[in-house]
Amino acid sequence: MEPAKISPKPETKTEPGGKLGTVKGFVKEIIELVVVTLVLLIAIRGLIGEARYIPSASMEPTLQINDRLIVEKISGHLGQPIKRGDILVFYPPPEEMGGRDLRNDPLTLLGRWTGLPFLPNDPAFIKRVIGLPGDHIRIQAGVGVFINGQLLDESSYIKEIPDYDLNILGDIGGRNITNEFIHPYAANGNDPIIVPAGHLFMMGDNRNNSEDSHVWGFLDQKRVIGRAWVLIWRRLNAPIYPPILSE
């Protein structure tokens, strides 16, 4: 009887590169995912909108500290004109930032385009449009804001009436975010306060606790990020009960 023949093991083919090829493929997928994510973030923030939070009390009672909202940009891209009463998010003028304007180094640009929290991000303000190009602005303490000689009815949104006067350009001034006193129109201080073309006069609804156009002057419309569109989150504080009920 002939001995049984043992069939040889079939040869196993090894992928070129082995484990190294698998690692390279994984890294490639990760890079592609990161690139696609960044492109989508930049497209959404640049064309549609972005989320922002409220860091100060300058827009109370309309907006409160730590409120989250969506800033929409579509209307701006479609050429919809800015109207009095619009609430805008914008990069503040250099005077308010101690002379420092928007930086253009790669990391800051990437942070501005994507909004990623671990990258440098330029500070932004949120205020209400009060004066449009060509408007004559005057503020009377204890009375209110006059536009082209007409007193605005702002009872539905301001916290309190301004306690300061603005009659001429020289009245604009105050301490900026770096605690430096600024007087932006000292050279032509006796001129009336008339909003230049392409600019806006912005004010916070919390009139006496807001670093706005009464401090740093007119806002160049090129610095506008977008319009406040919808409030998406607000922290609810616990109710305050009479002390007798907590005994």
Catalytic residues: 58, 127
Is residue 123 within 8 A of residue 92, CB to CB? The reply is yes
Closest of 204, 200, 205 to residue 219, by C-alpha: 200
Alpha-carbon torsion (125, 127, 130, 136), positive or negative = negative
Instruction: Give me the amino acid identity at 47.
Output: L
Q: What angle do CA 221, 223, 229 make, to 5 degrees?
A: 85
Neighbours of 30 (CB within 10 A): 10
Beta strands in the chain (DSSP E): 49-53, 68-72, 87-90, 125-131, 137-140, 144-147, 150-151, 174-175, 181-182, 199-203, 219-220, 224-233
Measured in degrees and rounded to the nearest 5, phi and psi for residue 99 equal 90, -10
